[in-house]
Each structure stands twice: as structure tokens, then as C-alpha cells.
Chain A
Amino acid sequence: MSPADPELGLRELQILRSAGLVSARGYAAAVSVVRDEAFWARWGRHALLTLGAGQFLAGVVCFFAYNWDDLSDLAKFAVIETALVIAAGGALLIGLDRAFGRVLLVAASVLTGVLLAVIGQVYQTGADVFELFVAWAVLILPWVFVSRSAVHWMLWLVVAEVALALYASQVLVVVSDVTSGEMWVLVGATIALALAGREFAVQYGLSWLSAHWTRLVLLFAATVILFIPAAAHAVDAGRFGSPALCLAAFLLMIIAAAALYWHLWRDFAALVIVIAVADAFFICIGFRLIDEAIGFDFDDAAPALASLGAMIVWAIAGTGSAALAMRRLRGTLQGAPA
């Protein structure tokens, strides 16, 4: 961005409007000059495709949900397998270099899960639910690789993480001495690993994974999942177990993410996620400290006023620091690639 000839966005346009240089009637036309025409044309097309495909598939689901009990087992399999073949065949025919082809392959992956669920329902296999998700994740993995689609990859990750979480809660927690806290850390850590894999892959030229939202979604999921048990320990609520591991994993994630997205990849939006979660944890710590030191006792005026007053100061300190950090980082990272 050149200061002599700055780029204009909606904020700058509002400044020109406030200065009276753009009229109220001419504002919409001025916006059309400023906005990224190519991006919004592409967005409009994709919105139409997603809305259409989403509603059509939802309609198919409703139709079979209505008739499901009346269908014979053979008919149930026939319906799902036909849809699966149509979706996969359609993807092959149209080609995965086109958006519609990729959407069809994603639909085929979803239908694979539906087929597995029906197999379990019809044959009463007695398998644990996690086995269904494991089988689903394994079966669709080749499609995920060939599709070169970030959405498809994200779908696979959700299925795999659900399988892992179910395995941990149904087997590890019951059979072994694994605590609930360790289970949360395991799930959060694997998402963090997926994020690391995404960064590594993008560095080595895997451009289809480079969409910014993939980084933000994975970072948000990993930090929030690691935050929950750590915060529960911080405020002494819930029975997660393994406090040291939960706190260490959360702090490690926050520090590593802050360092990497500040110095290495210079991504302001990612840093906002890190700061927000760290701020929430800071407020939880404050709550515990004030509770231990003064106590939230509302029967007496002095401790009630002192504890709530201290909490206000702590919350202002936490969010004020977060605001300060974000403002400074924004200035530093301005113009850095997202």
C-alpha cells in the first residue's frame, strides 16, 4: 500500500462520506467502484451452487427419512448405493478441477458414512460407534487425497476427530486410566498436529490447502478444545483430571501459535484468535485468584465489594491488554500476507 495513493475499502469510503465528498445517493455507486468485482462475482456463483446443492441434498434426506421405515433393507442399500455411485461417477465425469465435480465427491464421502450407518442398523453389527467413524475416515481417505479440496479435507478431519474422541471416551477412559482431561488434550493436540501439517504442506507448495480459512478454523478448534479443560482447572470447576497436562498443553499451544504467527507467518487474524483465548484464560485465572484471596461472599458488604471491584479491574486489565496487543500487532503486521 502506498501512502501517496492509498487503497480504498469500506472504512475509507465512510471517511469520505463523513467528509461530505461522497453523497448518500452516490454511496452505493461508490461502493461498487471500491469492491473487488472478481471476488464477489466468484462468491456469487459459489453461493448459488452451495445453496442449490445443499437444498437438493437436504430434500433427498427428507424424502428418505419420510419413507425410511417402509423401505425394505435391500431398497435402503440400493437407494444409498445408487446415490453414491451417481455422486462418485458424476465427480469423475465432470472432473475434479471444477467446483461442481468436487462438490459431488464431497457428497459421495457423506453418503459413504450414511451407508455405513445403515449397515450397522440393518445387520445390528454390535460395533461401537467409533468403529463406524474409523471405517468412514479410512474409506473416504483416497477421495480426500485425489479431490485436492480444502472442504473435503476438513470434512475428513471432522470424521477422524469424532472417531478419536469416541474411541477415547468409549474405550480409553473406560478400560484404561485415561482421564477426561487427557482425552481433551489428545483431541486438541491432534487438531494442532493437523494445523502443523497444513502449514508444512502449504510451505511445500500444496496450494489447494492454502485458503486462509483452513488455518483459522484449525487454530480456533485446537485452542478452544485445549482451553476448555485448562479453564475448568483454572476456575476449579468440573472433573477433568490431569491438571498439569491440561495447563501445559494449553500454554504450549498458545505460546507456539503466538510465536509462529507473529514471527514466521505474520498473520494478524490468527494472532487475534490466540490473544482472545489467552485473554479468556487470564480472566479465569483472575476469578480463581480473587476467589481464593477474598472470596465471592455476597453476605458481607466488604468482601462482596472487594471481590467484584477486583474482578472489574482484572477484566479491564485483561481485555485492555488484549486490545493493546492487537492494536500494536496490527500496526506491525499491516501489509503482511494473511
Chain B
Amino acid sequence: MTTLTAFCARTGIDVAPAREALNARGPYDDAPWYMQAVLGIGAWVTAVVALAFAWVVMDMAFDVDEPNLVVAIAGAIVFAVSVRLLHHRPEGAFTAHAAVALATAGTLMVAAGVGVPAESVWAAVIATVPFAAAAVWQQRSLLLQFLVVSVTLILLFVAIWDHWGQMTADLPAVFVPFGVALLLYPPMRDVRPTALALLVVPQLIEILVFNFDTGWKLWFGWPAKGLLLFVFAFLVFINWRRVGDSQAQLLAAVAALAAAIVAFLLPTGASAALVLLALAYTIGSRSLAIIGALAEIYFIWLFYWDLQETLLTKSVILMSAGAILLACYGLLIGAMRERRPS
């Protein structure tokens, strides 16, 4: 790892203000990802129970049979109170957890309270957008930002599928460039959870939903693959510029081209996973690398079960792809060995 002074020396930033900024960090939610995952699952469980509680209150105390504007207003109040609680007592583990869970439940209540009477999922999506914006604006809890943005994204998927009357398999590809842009060129507010939601949640929805339905693909999925591989090429270009000598640049370009060809032959999700892997490499994120690796394994596995091609065609594609990548690996190792004595 690089120390602050070494970093400042290389980037030309003054050490004093940088140290001041690091020391002045407030009640900042900087837990590692696996800790956030545990807390996130706990928050989901609490949010689901809270929703059930709200439903019982509305049904039995106020005789509300299905969600309406009253439910939406109650949800907005729950969200506002929770964010305020989070703002004033961010250090309290119990209050922070309660606030995150209840704010998520409040967002879901608003979505149901607006969407059900209007009989429109789009109305539910539009209703959650201000809450997603508020979750991004508050910087106390990265977990809350991830959960509320995820809720909005899930509703958006449902709305689009409902609007078109069928499931679109390529939809996750649209969100990937935005997620990549937010991580590579971040605004001053910390939007990493939003970026992660844009990169991961659509893929997860696709994985979960298309286990039960084959879905519809625009032009056999080629535009989606093209878009993803364009993002991949951009990431490769960023890294390629940093490589010192021309031989290494050539090797990196060949390896990237091979990986892109391979991904182009496999399902669209494999291209998305390739983008995640390249992004993980570019920004040095181990959590993204794990997610990307798992996604890549899943989509190659899915290709095996895909019924659109014969096993013979699949075997030729997979063996050629594997041979190209192994040849690149051999070239890379050979070049490294050549360079070592000098």
C-alpha cells in the first residue's frame, strides 16, 4: 500500500490539506464489504418485518385493505424520521441499524402507496426516485444508499418488463456504463454504493428471473454485447496507457482482444462479468473482483445449459476460446521470463 506522503509526492497534492481531510473525516461509514453485507441482510430482514407490521396496522387499525396515499405518506414520514435519526446518531449501532431498515421499509411503503392505487409500476418507480436521491445525498450510511437505490432499480426493471409485456434479457447492459463512470470519475459525494448497485443488482435480477423465463433479446443480444465490450475496451485503454514499453502494450492489447472475442461468443452476462473484472483490476477493488469472477463462472456454466446451440457448437466455441486465452497466457509468461534477466 502507498503512504500519504508517497501518494502526495507522486500526485502533486499538498500533504497538509490531505492529512487534514483524512483526520477530519466525520462519522463515516467505512466498514469492509463483508461487514456491510451482514448488516445489509439484517436490515432487509428487519425491513420485511417492519412492512408486515405496517400492513397489520393499516389493515386492522385503519381498515385500509390495500396500499393507498395514506400508506405512502406514512412511508415518507418513516423515511424522513429514519434519515434524521441517522443524521443525529450515526454512531449508535442500534439506532443506525433501525434507521437503515425502517428507511428502506418506508421507501417500499411509498412505492406501494403510490403504485397500487395508480395501478402503475412506473408511478411506483417515480415515487421512489426522490428517496433514492435523498439516500445518495445523506452520507452517513453507505448501506442505506445501496438498499434504497437497489429498490428503485428493481422497481424500474419490473416497470420496463410490465410496459413491454415481456422480459428483456439485455436490460442490465444499459446500467453498466453508468456504474463504471461513477467509479472511474466519481463526484465529490460518495456514490460507490450507487455504482455497485448499478453494476450488480441488474445482473442479479437477470440471474434470478431468467432461471424461470428465457426472456427476449434485442437482435440476439448483439447490441448489449457491443455496448459492454465498448466499456471493456475503454477500461483496457485506460490501463494500456499506463504500461511502459511497447512490447508489454502489444501483449496487453492482444490479451484484451482475446478476452473480448471470448466474451462476445458467450452469453451477454459473460461480457458484463468481463467488465466487472476489468474494472476491479483498474480501480484495485477485491470485492468487485470476487463478484466478477463468480459472475463469469456462472455465465460460462449457463452457456453449457443454454439450449440454443448444440453441444458440438458449444464445445468448439469453448475450446477455441480457452485455447486463445491459454496462448495469451503463454505469451505473457514467456515475455516476462525474457525480461527477467535484464
Contacts and interface: CB of A to CB of B under 8 A. Distances in A.
Centre residue among A30, A308, A309 by max chain B CB count within 10 A: A308
Interface residues of B, number: 88
B60 A52 contact: no
A57 interface: yes
B332 A45 contact: yes
B283 A31 contact: yes
Contact of A276 (B5, B38, B53): B38
Contacts of A17: 186, 188
Contact of B284 (A25, A34, A67, A319): A34
Interface string A9-20: 111101111111
29 contacts: A2-B3, A7-B4, A8-B3, A24-B187, A28-B238, A34-B284, A36-B1, A45-B332, A45-B333, A54-B297, A54-B322, A56-B325, A59-B314, A59-B315, A59-B320, A61-B315, A63-B312, A63-B316, A65-B311, A65-B315, A308-B52, A308-B56, A309-B53, A311-B49, A319-B101, A320-B95, A323-B96, A324-B93, A326-B35
A19 B97 CA distance: 27
A16 B15 CA distance: 11
Contacts of B227: none
B77 interface: no
Nearest to A3: B23
A324 B94 contact: yes
A330 B61 CA distance: 44
Nearest to A49: B329
Contacts of B296: 51
A48 interface: yes
B45 interface: yes
A54 B284 contact: no
In the A-B complex, list the 6 residue pairs whose CB atoms are closest, starting with the nearest: A56-B322, A35-B284, A319-B42, A52-B325, A59-B318, A59-B319
A268 B97 CA distance: 20
A322 interface: yes
A55 B2 CA distance: 36
A316 B97 contact: yes
Contacts of B253: none
A336 to B, nearest CB: 14
A36 B289 CA distance: 14
Contacts of A276: 38, 41
A67 B314 CA distance: 13
Interface of B: 1-5, 7, 10-11, 13-14, 17-18, 21-22, 25, 28, 30-32, 34-35, 38-39, 41-43, 45-46, 49-50, 52-53, 56-57, 60-61, 93-98, 101, 184-190, 192, 238, 242, 255, 259, 262, 277, 281-285, 289, 293, 296-297, 300, 304, 310-312, 314-326, 328-329, 332-333
Interface string A36-50: 100010011101110
Contacts, number: 250
B277 A47 contact: yes
Interface stretch (A127-135, A162-170, A297-305): A297-305
Interface residues of A, number: 83
Contacts of A49: 326, 329
B284 A48 contact: no
A217 B44 CA distance: 24
B284 A31 contact: yes
Contacts of B277: 47
Given A33-B10, A54-B297, A308-B53, 15 more contacts: A8-B1, A19-B17, A21-B17, A21-B18, A22-B11, A40-B281, A48-B325, A54-B300, A60-B319, A308-B56, A312-B53, A316-B46, A319-B101, A323-B96, A330-B31
A5 interface: yes
A42 B44 CA distance: 37
A319 B310 contact: no
Contacts of B314: 59, 62
A153 interface: no
Contacts of B28: 15
B4 A8 contact: yes
Interface in A55-103: 55-63, 65-67, 100
Contact of A66 (B238, B282, B311): B311
A301 B59 CA distance: 9
Contact of A279 (B42, B238, B281): B42
B38 A28 contact: no
A63 B43 CA distance: 46
A308 B45 CA distance: 12
B274 to A, nearest CB: 9
Contacts of A201: none
A301 B56 contact: yes
A5 B98 contact: no
A238 interface: no
A157 interface: no
B174 to A, nearest CB: 22
A315 B42 contact: yes
A142 interface: no
Given A14-B192, A56-B323, A320-B93, A34 B1 contact: yes
A105 interface: no
B31 A326 contact: yes
Contact of B317 (A35, A59, A298): A59
Given A62-B318, A318-B42, A48 B13 contact: no
A269 B32 CA distance: 9
